[in-house]
Chains A and B, each alone.
Chain A
């Protein structure tokens, strides 16, 4: 009797599994989802929890408190770091997308043979480690670096330029180079799939090359531009390595101060609150950006 019921149960489950697309989807996702739960969701939850606690000397006060958020948003130093991080990553995003678009456009519209080779070439910076690429920029921009020694040997300057390295501009330059392929590829994919007859139709209806670009090519490539911008803005806001290596004291970003809280200062709750606040800020700004861009694009007719 019990055995029969069990068999029926299995059959029912099997039937449900076959009928329900959702169940099959979840089953397919489950390995990835388990890793995500263990390695991402759980630490995040812990981080959120910490951000509501308080550090008292060496002891942790687990009483619910918003004090860390008050400090994060209230103290002038932290606010300035938030602003600077967002300024730097906005500049990186803008510059990278502006530089990536023509490259993606060139490969999508002008290259006729061996596009694949071009795409591989564009990803070559990724073949070396991120750290090496940052160090390379240090070599280029440094006091005795490529630019300074080059200019000095040409006799254009007599003292090495000191404004090249250890400032926000160095951070922007380094990040823009490091993230370029992340911008080129999504924009390329969107440009590549634009039906060329749409551009012919626009030309036929009286538009010259510039108007064609503004009215057809650009609006249709917008999903790629948005994807590129988000993919660069979100991680660069929280970047830690580049400002540490090339930023100097003026190029410190929010991630550096978060690291300090967790490591040297040992104030985990404040570090957690700063991390949560910067995550929220990035999330809200990204949503606003996507909405604003879509709204602006809908006005193009």
Chain B
């Protein structure tokens, strides 16, 4: 993967009536990247994808493919192809003709067309399915045909609009792995829209998290999880505990923060003295023990045994909300668990707390 920007979404804004669907989105997608647009439904991710495809046109801003301005080009003039959420398999054509659809106007020799479609059928593991009618396919097969139909045109960018949403869990997980492997082998830039954070985390090179038309953060899955840049991103991806804090002083790169019931701590952050901040802590970063020094004491309110891990809600005096803690059940003995009513001590490694701006 090179660092060169391939698809440039430059300050794009789109309104539908009074609704601001996409607000000043600025995303630079690199060549060969698996890039995801992640967010809850209605956050504008599909609108953004449809603007890249050419089905919608921005009210402001520009879209460039490889430096070429494509903002106002209709879909059939763009070097991108799309896998639709509904798959949009042509019902009056068989599998072969569905896949060949976008090749017909390229005036290929009959043998060349045949070969490319057959290759595509092999790629999606549906060889021999060519003469099947569009209505004789299962959901997973339709999804593969939609993928092959788009890829057979050798697009520069493949756009995928929640392509796995309609599949059952097991099939979805298998397709995630296949899709990722396929992307690596064909080397095409993928722009993938999903509301499923696990899906986005497991498949993407980078993710843009969106909410209410706004791009909140663009980062690798690891960075999004470990270092979210705002409360919304932290909340949307995985579970998170939030605490209030106040910067009381600075010492070089480190800030002294008064976190109330959690005590005083020193964390590396740019926040200035006197600023109110939000401290975020992942439940699985917290370790519980029956007795410990230099820790926060609390009472177990609720405990849930989930097999490979356990969840606890810990009530800490001075905090409004219980702290959520997840522990891995690595030991064999069930008595390692804590019961409601138990007094426990919470510790976490330095750096586990993330400082976020207060909004």
Offer 27 A-B interface pairs, CB within 8 angstroms, sorted by A.
A195-B86, A197-B84, A198-B88, A198-B90, A198-B91, A200-B55, A200-B84, A200-B88, A201-B82, A202-B90, A202-B101, A203-B75, A204-B81, A204-B82, A205-B76, A205-B81, A205-B101, A205-B149, A206-B76, A207-B76, A207-B105, A208-B74, A208-B76, A215-B101, A216-B90, A220-B91, A301-B101
Residue-wise, chain B 341-354 has the 8 Å CB interface mask toward A (1 for contact) of 00000000000000
Interface size class of A (residues with CB under 8 A): 20 to 34
* Bound complex: CA A191 to CA B199 (Å): 37
Q: Which residues between 102 and 126 of chain B lie within 8 Å of chain A, taking CB atoms? A: 102, 104-105
Report the stretch among B92-100, B181-189, B247-255 that lies at the interface.
B92-100
Bound: A197/B153 CA distance, A: 19
**Known pairs A205-B81, A205-B102, A206-B102; A301 contacts B93 (CB<8 A):** yes
- Contact residues of A between 173 and 225, Cβ < 8 Å to B: 195, 197-198, 200-208, 211, 215-216, 219-220
How far is it, in angstroms, between the C-alpha of A20 and the C-alpha of B102 when the chains are bound?
A: 48
Contact yes or no, A201 B153, CB < 8 A: no
Instruction: Please encode chain B, from 7 to 46, with 1 for each CB lying within 8 Å of some chain A CB and 0 for all others.
Output: 0000000000000000000000000000000000000000
Given contacts A200-B55, A200-B75, A201-B82, contact A206 B105 (CB under 8 A): yes
- Separation of A206 and B92 alpha carbons in the complex (Å): 18
A219 to B86 alpha-carbon distance, docked (Å): 20
CA distance A203 to B82 in the complex (A): 10
**Using a CB-CB cutoff of 8 Å, which residues 60-102 of chain B contact chain A?**
74-76, 80-82, 84, 86, 88, 90-93, 97, 100-102
Q: Which 3 A-B pairs have the closest CB atoms?
A: A205-B102, A201-B88, A203-B75
B53, CB-defined interface residue at 8 Å: yes
Residues of A within 8 A of B153 (CB): 205-206
Least CB distance from A186 to B in Å reads 17
Task: State whether A219 touches B102 (Cβ < 8 A).
Answer: no
CA distance A203 to B97 in the complex (A): 16
- CA distance in complex: A211, B97 (Å): 15
CB contact under 8 A between A201 and B90, given known A206-B153, A211-B105, A301-B97: yes
Cα distance, A300 to B54, chains bound together (Å): 26
Interface digits, B143-187 against A, CB 8 Å rule (1 contact, 0 not)?
A: 000000110010000000000000000000000000000000000
List 15 additional A-B contacts (Cβ < 8 Å) besides A200-B75, A204-B53, A301-B100. Answer: A195-B86, A195-B88, A197-B84, A201-B82, A203-B54, A204-B54, A204-B150, A205-B81, A205-B101, A205-B150, A207-B105, A208-B74, A219-B92, A220-B92, A300-B92
* Shortest Cβ distance from residue A41 to the other chain B in the assembled complex, whole angstroms: 36
User: What A residues does B75 contact at CB under 8 A?
Assistant: 200, 203-204
Complex CA distance for A208 and B74, rounded to whole angstroms: 9
Q: Does the CB pair A203–B105 fall under 8 Å?
A: no
Q: Which residue of A lies closest to B101 (CB)?
A: A205
Report A-chain residues with C-beta under 8 Å of the C-beta of B150. Answer: 204-205
Specify which chain A residues have a CB less than 8 angstroms from the CB of B53 in the assembled complex: 204
B318 to nearest A CB, angstroms? 54
Nearest opposing residue in chain A for B97, CB measure? A301
Q: How far, in whole Å, are A211 and B106 apart by their CA atoms in the complex? A: 13
Q: List residues of chain B with CB within 8 A of the CB of A216.
A: 90
B80, B86, B149: which contacts A197 (Cβ < 8 A)?
B86
The A-B contact count (CB < 8 A) is 61
Nearest-Cβ distance from residue A207 to partner chain B, whole angstroms: 6
Q: Which residue, B74, B81, B88, B150, has most C-beta atoms of chain A within 10 A?
A: B88
Residues of chain A within 8 A of B55, CB atoms compared: 200, 203
For B82, list chain A residues within 8 Å (CB). 200-201, 204
Rounded to whole Å, the gap between the CB of A39 and the closest CB of chain B is 39
Contacts of B149 in A (CB 8 A): 201, 205
**B252 → chain A closest CB, angstroms:** 54
A203 to chain B minimum Cβ distance, whole angstroms, is 4
Chain B minimum-CB-distance residue to A198:
B88
Inside 8 A of B90's CB, which chain A residues have their CB? 198, 201-202, 216
A48 to B75, CA, bound (A): 60
CB closest residue in chain A, given B100: A301
A299 → chain B, closest Cβ, in Å?
11
- Taking a contact as CB atoms under 8 Å apart, the answer to whether B76 and A203 are in contact is yes
Minimum CB distance partner of A301 in chain B? B97
B76 touches A204 (CB 8 A): yes
Nearest opposing residue in chain A for B149, CB measure:
A205
Instruction: Report yes or no: B84 in contact with A201, Cβ–Cβ below 8 A.
Output: yes
* Smallest beta-carbon distance A79→chain B, Å: 40
Contact of B104 with A301 in the complex, beta carbons under 8 Å: yes
- Report A286 CB to chain B, min CB distance, Å: 22
| Distance in angstroms between the alpha carbons of A253 and B243 in the assembled complex | 91
Residues of A within 8 A of B101 (CB): 202, 205, 215, 301
Closest B residue, CB atoms, query A300: B92
Known A197-B84, A211-B105, A301-B104; judge A203-B92 contact (CB<8 A): no
Question: Within the assembled complex, what's the spacing in Å between the Cα atoms of A202 and B75?
Answer: 9
Q: Mark B133-151, 1 if CB is under 8 A from A, else 0.
A: 0000000000000000110
Could you tell me the distance between the alpha carbons of A219 and B101 in the complex, rounded to whole angstroms?
14
Shortest Cβ distance from A298 into B: residue:
B92
Shortest B131–chain A CB gap in Å is 13
Tell me the minimal C-beta distance from A298 to chain B in angstroms.
Answer: 8
Q: How far is the CA of A211 from the CA of B92 in the complex (A)?
A: 15
Within 8 A of A (CB), among B233-280: none
Chain B contacts for A219, CB-based, 8 A: 92
A197 touches B105 (CB 8 A): no
Q: A185 vs B100: C-alpha distance in the bound complex, in angstroms?
A: 33
Shortest CB-to-CB span from A268 to chain B, Å, is: 48
- Chain B residues whose CB sits within 8 angstroms of the CB of A208 once the complex forms: 74, 76
Compute how far the CA of A205 lies from the CA of B53 in the bound complex, rounded to whole angstroms: 11
